[in-house]
Amino acid sequence: MKRFKSDEIATQFVSDFGMTLELFIDTGNEAIDESVDYPLLKFYADEESEDKFVEFWSGKELVQIPVSKLREALELVDKEVHSEAWFEKNVFRDIEST
């Protein structure tokens, strides 16, 4: 697994009027002195409803999900997702003390 740091990830509009937004990483190849922008996620608006979707690869398939669902998940991440060390310190320690 490769974990990227915040400063290695950027956003860019890939159409003239902002119809698509990409979250990407710059994967410079020093051997040939080139950079390649590698998109991680792309964001689109539906042609008829203007609903927003995020597009990414899942397994071997390109999928799009509503941005609203991604937003809900990100809100839950801030509140409910913690590291194993956090659980050891804040949850399991309390259970072992009783």
More confident position, 29 or 47: 47
Q: Which residue's entry shows tokens 């991680």?
A: 40
Percent of the chain at pLDDT exceeding 70: 80
Rounded to an integer, the average pLDDT of 10-32 is: 75
pLDDT at 13 over 90: no
pLDDT at 33 over 60: no
Instruction: Judge contact between 22 and 10, C-beta under 8 A.
Output: no
Rounded to an integer, the average pLDDT of 34-63 is: 87
pLDDT at 32 over 50: no
Rounded to an integer, the average pLDDT of 67-93 is: 91
Alpha carbons within 13 A on the beta-carbon side of 46: 10
pLDDT of residue 97: 60
